[in-house]
Structure 1
Amino acid sequence: MKKSNRKLPRAALSLMLVMGLILPSPGWLAPVHVKAANNDNPPFKIDLTGIFVTPATGSNSSVIGGNIVQVTPNTTNQKGGIWSTEANKMDLTKDFKASMYIYFGDRGANAADGMAFVMHNDSRGTNAISPHSGSGLGVYAGQTHGSSKTDGIQKSFAVEFDTFINNNVNDGYFDTNTTKGAHVAWSYPGQAETYIDYYTSFQHRRTMKHNNIDGPNNGAQYPGNLSNDTWRKFTINWNATTSTLTYQLEGLSSVSIPINVQDIFGADQVYWGFTGSTGSRYQNNRVAFEEVPGLVNAEVKETITRKDGVVVDNGALANNGEELTYTINAKYLSGKQDWTDIIVKTVLNDHVSYVPGSMAISSGDGSGELDDSFWTGQSLAASIPNMNTNRNDVTISFKVKVNQVKVNTPVTETVKFEGSNYITNTHPVDYVIQANNVPEVTINEKGPIHLAVGEDYQAKGTWKDSDDSTNTLYYDLNGELLKSEVLDNGGSTEPVDWSYLITSDQLKLGENNLQVIARDGKGAYSVSAKLKIIVESPPAITLTDANREIPVDFGTEYTMSGSWNDLDSNLVDLYYAVDSNTPVKFASNVSNSTNKGEDINYQYSIPADQLSIGMHQVSVYAVDDTGRKSNIEVVNVNVTGKLSFMSVTENVSFENMQIPNKPTYSKRNDDWDILVKDTRGSGSSWRLTATLMEEFSDSQGHFLRDALKFVNEDGIETTMALGAETNVYEMITQDEQNVSINWESDKGILLKIDPFVYIGDYTGKINWNLIDAP
C-alpha cells in the first residue's frame, strides 16, 4: 500500500430536537432526544455498556459516547476490534437476528483498509485480534508468502468490507481475485486452507479465498465507494434449524451461508463483533448497534380498527370520513436487560389526519391521556416507560380520520420502537382507502370579464359527479358566500348546466373574484372554479377643442388642453396621436386627485414638425394604472401654409454717379434686402410686383421721369410707370421656404440716368406686393 497525506477528521454537527411526553402522574416519561444523522450520529445506536468490550492489548479501538465504536481512528497503521462480553455471546442453538450501522469514513478512493464482522471461539476470547494491520483487517493471518497461516483469529467466520484492493508487489496479493474494487465477501480466517501460497512471474505470492472459493468467479459483492461519509445498515440472521447465517449490507443482495458450527467454532456459544485496520492509507472505521441478540426480547404490534371493532388490515377498505383507531402495543418477553428509554415513532400516511385530543396510554402503572404536542404534522414521537418482566405491557392508542382520495389508495402503517438498548419495528399494516369520485365544476368563460359600473353578470358553467346524483353548489364572491343550492343531475354522468346572476350591487369597483365549488353527499369538495370579474371605471378625458376644426399656421405648434378624472385609479398616462401614427405618451404616471373623480387639467403643445400641411385628426386619451383606457377626444387641426415677407428693407438706394453723356443705368447698392417666406408647400407659385408710387425728385423740384426700369433675365427693359404694377420676380417653391430676392447686377430694378438731368439727390417711393398666383 502506497503512502498518502493524512486527512484530519471532520468536525461533526449534531442537531437536537427535544420532545416531551406529559401524563397525569407517572415520572418515567422523560423528554425525547433525537439527533440528526452525520459522522458522529448514525441513524440509530444503542448503549453498549456491559454489552461489548474492546481487546485489552493490540487494539486502537475506543467507544465514543457509550454507543459508537471507533474500530480504527482516522490515521495510518491502526487495527482494532470490539467483542460481545461473555454474557452476550451468540447462542447458535437458537434463532436470532442482529442489526447495526457501519461507517467507513469519507476518504473516497484514498480509503483503506476496511472492517470485518467476525464470529469466533478463539481461546483469547475478548482479547482476540490479528497482529496484522493493513490487509489483515485485524482478523486475517499475514499476507506474506510462507508466513504463518494461523496467526489470525482462530475458529472464526468473517464478513469482510474491504475498501482497498491488494494486488501488487507493494501492497501484496491478498485480493488477486477481487480486482473490481471495494468488495464484500465472507471467509474462515482461522483455517489454513483460506490462504494460498503460489509462485508466478518470478514472485512468491499469497492470496486468500473469498467466499471460500479460489478464483475470480468467487461471488464477491462490489458495492462501489464505501468511504463516502455514509452509514450503512448491516443485518445478521441466524437460523438454528438449518444452521444458516444470512447477512445483508444495505444496497446489496442478502447472502446465505450454511455453517458447520462444530467444524468452524467447536462450540455453540461464540463471541461476535467487528475488527478493522488501516495501513499507509487510512479511514475512520465505526460501528453502531441497533439490535443485539438476546439483550431484549420483545413483541411489538400495531392494530387498526373501525368504530365497530373490526380490524382493518390485509387490504381491507376504509372510506372517506371514517374514523379509525390505531392501537400500538409493546410486550416485554425476556432479556438480559430491561428495555430502557423507549421512544415510539410513527409517521401517518398522507391520506389520514390525526384527531386532536384522542391519544391515550396505558401500562401496569395506570393509564391517561397524552398531549397532542407529541405530534409534528403527521409524525408522532412519544416516550413510554422502561419495560421489564414486571412492567411488561404498554399500549398507546389514538384516532385518525380518513381523508378523501381520487382513486383507491393502498396505504401502509408501521411503528418504530427506539430504546437505548433495543430498536425494533412493528409488522406493516396494509389497507386501502376507497376512492370517492370528487365532483367537478367549471365556469364557461375563462375571463377576466370586464364590466362597466352598474352592469350585472350572468355566470354560467357545468358540474359533474359520476357517483352522486345531488351536489351542493356554493357561489362565493370576494370571500363571501352569495348563495348555496342543491342541484340534481338525475343520475347523469355527463356535465350538467348551472347558472347564477350576479347583480351590479354585489360587485365592487375594480377586481372581483368569483369561486364556485361543488360538494357531494360524502363531504368531498370539487376544485374551485374561479373567474375574475373586473368592474371598470376607466378614466374620462375632455379636450377643449374637441369636435372642432382648428386652423394652425404651418411651422407652428398646436397647443391642446383639457382635463381628466378617474374614480378608482392612482395614476394615469396621457396620450395623443396624430392621424394613424403611433400614439405618443405626453404625460407619464400623473397622480390622481386625493378626492378621486375630481377634474385634473392638462396642457401640451404638439411640436410643429409633427404637423405637416393639411388636415390632421388629433386624438387624446388616458390609460390608468390597471390598463383601462378612457374615451377618445378628437380635434381636426387644419395646417395651412402662407406667403409673406420675412423682411423688406425700408430704405434702398442706387449708386451715386456723374451725369453721363448718354443714358446710363445706376446700379443698386447692397442695402436691398427683400426676404420672402412661403410655407404653402413644394410646387406653390408666387410673384413679386413693384409699383412706383412717387416719382423720383430732388429738393429743387427736379424729377427723373420714366427713369425707374426693370430689366428681365433676357435684358429686356420695361419702364416702371408711375402707379403701374410691374412683375419683378417669379418663383415656384421647392424645398426652401425662405427666398431672398436677388437679381444680377445688371438685371432687376435699375435707375436709368439721362444726360440732361439736373444734379441732385433724388428720392422716390416703391410699393412691394406678393401675389399668390402664377
Structure 2
Amino acid sequence: MGIKQGKLKVVMFTIAITFFASISGVSAVTDYPNAIKAAPHGITLNGIFQTGTGSGVSSASKTVNLTPNNVITTDPNAATKSVVTITDDKNQKAAVWSTDGNTFDINKNETASMWVYLGNGYAAAGDGMALVLQNDPKGNAAISTGNGETLGVWADDVTPTTGNIFTGRTSGYNKVDDLVKTSVQNSWALEFDTHTNDSRNANNNFDTNLGGNNHLASGYPADTGTYVRDMEGSLIPLVTNYFYSQKHSGFIDYGKNVSLSNGQWHHVTLKYVSDGSPSMTYSIDDKDPKTNAALPGKTALVSIDKSKFKSNGSIRWGFTGSTGASYETNLVMFEQVPGLVNASATQKVTDTTQKNKDVTNNGLIQSDDSLSFVTDINYSGGKQEWKNINASLKIPNDVTLKSGTITYSGAGTDSETINLTNISNGEITKLLKNNLSSTKYSNAKITLLGTANKETKDTVVHSDESEFTGSNAVVQSNAASFTIGGIRTLTLSGINDITVKAGSGATIAGTVVSSLGGVFPAGTTTAAIKVNDNYSVQADVGTDGKFSVNVPSDQLKLGKNPYTVMATDQFGNQTKSYTANISVGANKPTLTLDDSGKTVNAPYSLSYHVTDDSAKIKMYYQDGSGTPVLMDTFDNPKANELHSGAYKLPDDLSVGKHVITVYAIDSDDNKSDTQTITVMVPGKLGLTTAGTLDFGSTDIPDKATILSRKTDFSVDLETSLPGTWDLSVSATDLTSGSNTIKGAIIYRATAGDNAQVLNQTGLKILSGSSKLTPTKVPWDKDAGVLIKADPSQIHKDAYTAKVSWVLTNTPSK
C-alpha cells in the first residue's frame, strides 16, 4: 500500500519515496513494454470486464489484446489473449468490474486462474491491487473513497479534523462504523500488497505489526471486525488522532528481501467451494511463467461468510487498485474466468503390458513395456462453449511413441489422429478440430500409445503438465511420473545347508543382490521358498536385500529336507532357483579351534577339540574356496567324549594370506559351526648356483684376452618375499700356490657389453620386484663372470678365485 496525498506530513513521505524510486531507476513507461513482451499464455476478455465509474477513478484502466508473439493488436482475429491494466502511475485509483453477464455465483463452486504483474519497483513500489467480490449498491461505480493503502477497496482511514480547541478536536474516525462506510460495501477482497503501511498515522497504518514484508491477505472491507482502532495525542492541544490497522486473514508472507514487484508475472489460482462450509483457497506462484510447469507456490485457505454479500446468488467481481506517491504497473491476464468456461484436464498413464496397471503417480514399469498416456479434457459447464482449443502435449523422455488419437464424446462422437512427426522441443502442438460444450462434445480424450525404452539403470520418467489453451479458457493437466526399471540380474547369497535338532523349526535367511546395486524399495521384492515340495512360504525382502522366514518343525522330517528359494523384484526380474538342505537329526558336533579368529604365520599346525553324540566324527579344513581336506577321523563310542588333534598345514602353501576354515561332520551328517584362522605365508628370498665356473686349461696368450667358460652358467632366484630385490656379484683375485693375478675376474651381461672388473666390494648386476615364481638368470659361456688374461701377469700354473653371489631384499613400505 502507499500514501495518500493532501497533507503536509504526507507530502514529506512522498518526497522520500520518489527519491528511492529515482535510485532504482524504475519507470512505469519502460516497465509496461517489458511486461507485455513477457506476457504468458492467457485468454481474450472481450465483453468480460468494464472500467469502473466510481468517484475519483482514473483513466488508466484499459484492456489490450495481444497476438501469440505478444504484439498489441486491434484485430480481433489475430488476438489470442488480453491484458488488463489497473494502475500505472502516481496517485491513481482504478477498478475494473465484470459485466452484467459475467457475474460470480456464490452458490456454485467456481475456479479462477490468472497472471498478475505488479511492476518492477521492488522496495519503491506501491501500492498493489486487490481481487474483489462485491454486491455494493453502487455496482460498477463501487470504489473506496481513498487511494494509497486502500487499494481502491478497503476503508479510507482519514477524514477532516472536526471540533475546535474549546470543545476538543478529533482527527480521523472515532467510530469504526463510520470508517467502513468509505470502503466497497458487501464485499470480500484478496489484496496483493507491495507497499508496507506501518507509520502509525492516518492512511498509513494498515500494515502495523506485519514485519514490513510484501504479502497477500484477505478480508471483508466493509466489516467492522476488519479494522482495529488506535489513537494518540497530538502536539496541538486538545486534539486526538484516530487511525486504524487492518486484520489480515489468509496471510501469505512473501518473505523478507523478496518483492511482489519484481518485474515478473505471478500465477494466481482461486478455488471457491460453495457447498457445506464455504471457503476460498488461493495460491500464488503456483506456475512457472516461462515454462508453464506447476510449482508448489504459496497457498492459504479462508472461510467465506456468504451473508456478508447480502445476496442470494450472483454478485459482481473484478480488480481494484490505488497508488500514492509510490506506484507500479498493475496488470492482469486470465486463464480461467469464473463461470465463463468450467473445464479440466486429467492425465493418466497405464502400463498395458502389466494388465493396465495405473503408474501415473510414481508407478514402476519394465523396459519395453507398452504404455498408454490418456488425457481426459472435460467441459462441465459455463456461459460459453470452450473455443479454439490448442493442445500443447508434453512428450516424456525415455518413451518411444507409436500412435496418437483424439476421440470426442458427449451428445455426439468424433475422432481424429495426431501426427507424431510434429514433435518439437519435446512437445506436440495440436489444434482440436472441435469446440467443447454441453450441447455436442463435452469430452475430448487424447491417447498417446508408446513403449518404454530399454534402460541400463532405474530411470525416473516425467510426463509433464500439458496445457490446453482456448480463446476463452486455459487449462493444465496434472503431471505424471513413473520409473522404468533398468535391465538387471538378481542373485541370491546365504542360501546354505541348515542343521536343526529334531522337533525344532528352521530359519531360512538370505540376501538378494542386484547387478545395478542400490536398495530395494520397501514392499517391492519377495523371496518364494518351498520346502520338501509341499510347504511354500513367501518372505518380504528388506531395503538392504535381506530376508528371513521360519519353517515350522511339523513341516520337517528327520534327515534331509531340500528347500528352494527364488526372488522376484517389482519389475518382474527373477533370480535362478537356489537349492539347499535342512538336516534334522542329532546335535551337531561342538568344535573348538585354538587361535580361532586370529592371524598366524606359516609354518603352522592346526589344533582342535571336538565333542559329539554320534558314533564317528570327521575333521576337515578348507583353504579359501578350495577342496576340503580330511584331517582326522575319531571313533566316538562314548557320547560327548572330548577328542583333540593337530594337523600341520602343508609347507608348500603359496605366499600370501590363507583363510583356513575348520569344521567337523559326524556320522549323522550333522555339521559343526565353522571356525576360521588366517595363516600368513610371508614369502622367501634365496638363490642357488651351479657351483663351479670352469675355464679349463689354455695356453698363455700373447696379448690381453677374455677367456670364456667351458659351459653356460645360471643363477636361480627365489624372490617371493614382498618388496624389491638386488643381485650382486663379487670375486677375489685369481691365485695359485705362489702367484696372484689382480683384476682378472670380470663381468659383462652379454658378449657384446663392456666388461667390469669384479672385486670384493660387489657389483649390482640385476634388480626386480617380488614375484611368486622363481627367476632363472642365465648367461652363455661368453657372458657373465669371465677371466681377462693379461700375459704380463700370468705364469704357468693352476689358478682359483672365489666368486660370491648376494641377493638382498628391500621391504615394501
Q: TM-score, normalised by structure 2?
A: 0.47
Rg (Cα) greater in structure = 1
Q: TM-score, normalised by structure 1?
A: 0.49
